[in-house]
Amino acid sequence: MWGGIDKEGTIAHSLQLTKDDYALILNIFMVFYALGQLFSGKLFDKVGTRIGYVISIGVWGISSFLHSTVSGLFSLAFFRSTLGISEAGNWPGAVKSNAEWFPIKERAIAQGLFNAGASIGSVVAPPLIAALFVAFGWRITFMVIGSFGIIWVIPWLLINKAGPKKHPWITKEEQKFILEGQSKADQDATETTKGKSLKEILSYKESWSVVIGRFFLEPIWWLFVGWMPIYLFDVYGFNVKEVGMFLWVPYVGAAVGSIAGGYVSGKIIAKTNSIDKGRKTTVFIGGVIMLLGLIATVLMGNTAEKFVAIVFVVLFGFQFAISNVQTLPSDFFSGKSVGSLAGLGGMIGVFSVIVMNFLVPIVVAKFSYTPILLQLQFLFL
């Protein structure tokens, strides 16, 4: 919907905003998204996943809806900031919820399914958003998107009544299966159990593996999520409708990769009885796929069709690995510390993306998109 300043009906044209403004808006969103990761992790650890998601998604829906009222750079930046801080809660909340509801060996597949759901949403959303945009304009489109978030809170409260220890809808057998497959610390945790401080969490070397891993992996995802529409505009001259028709394809790869990564990890853990081996092997495989895909974007991505197909492979590899990286906080800690480490890792990862977003318009203006793709290969190595 951003488009270009010369493309009538787009956000850029309506508000007279430039590509530099786009980079600024994207970074404002990312700063608050980063801070929201840490804040949300602590929030979910404090109030639980049920109320945590009500706050997070409720604010997200309202913020999305109010994008329809913006009149310039300042108001757009404000609502992007509230959107960012609320949207961030989705991820530490998911890690914490999976830790509560799944045995250790099934957490990666649960996280993979969650990520796949987000990716499927990204498959469905671009053509639908493009259709809404073409039919009604970007302001009405934001109203529709925001309304979905607000309405979502109702079924969430009706279904997620309590955790597995107290939920009225699960059987004794299901409860036993879930709880016995968790760590002893998870089983012993109560509502009064205190979580670790960030200082305590960072005193463990395992925590640094999460933080460093997220720092180097996140730019790969966000380059394609944040900049691929602009890339298709600039390099191939696409309009909004054409972007919508192509943009969903890589997310299919992401959805398949997230499920496959969780499945493979679970199988390795079941066969070897080693969580460590299951996580490391799967992350390594996903990493190799990503690296080969990133190299191919430079060597082979000379048409829109080839480029999108290669990004399909890159995002497959990313999600194959990241569903296991995201699960690590629940492997290392329990109870009211899981969300905190998940949020901390997410925050650090997003700050690396902010640096990348700052560099993209500068590098593209002086050279092209190719150095950015080469930079991602260097970061990965």
Residue identified by tokens 């996943």 is 49
At 380, the pLDDT band (50, 70, 90 cuts) reads low
Higher-confidence residue of 219 and 10: namely 219
Per-residue model confidence as pLDDT tens digits over 118-151: 878 877 877 788 888 888 888 999 999 999 999 9
Residue 106 CA to residue 268 CA, distance in Å, equals 11
Considering the chain, what percentage of its residues have pLDDT values greater than 70? 88
pLDDT of residue 3: 58
Contacts of 60 (CB under 8 A, 6+ apart): 83, 86, 87, 89, 149
Residue 54 CA to residue 329 CA, distance in Å, equals 23
Task: State in Å, rounded, how far the first CA of the chain is from the last one.
Answer: 34
At 1, the pLDDT band (50, 70, 90 cuts) reads low
At 363, the pLDDT band (50, 70, 90 cuts) reads low
Q: Which of 190-194, 219-223, 376-380 has the lowest mean pLDDT?
A: 376-380
Q: What's this model's pTM, rounded to 2 decimal places?
A: 0.77
Helix (H) or strand (E) holding 27: helix 19-66
Per the structure block, which two tokens stand in for 160? 């997620």
Please state the domain extents for the chain. Answer: 16-187+197-380
Higher-confidence residue of 286 and 10: namely 286
CA 349, 355, 359 angle in degrees (round to 5)?
Answer: 145
Per-residue model confidence as pLDDT tens digits over 255-267: 899 999 999 998 9
Higher-confidence residue of 93 and 16: namely 93
How many other CB atoms are there within 10 angstroms of residue 319's CB atom? Answer: 31
pLDDT of residue 377: 52
Angle between helices 138-159 and 19-66 (to 10 degrees): 50
Mean pLDDT of the chain: 83
Contacts of 237 (CB under 8 A, 6+ apart): none
**DSSP state, 154?**
H
pLDDT of residue 186: 61
pLDDT of residue 61: 95
pLDDT of residue 374: 54
Q: What is the CATH number of domain 16-187+197-380?
A: 1.20.1250.20
pLDDT of residue 177: 86
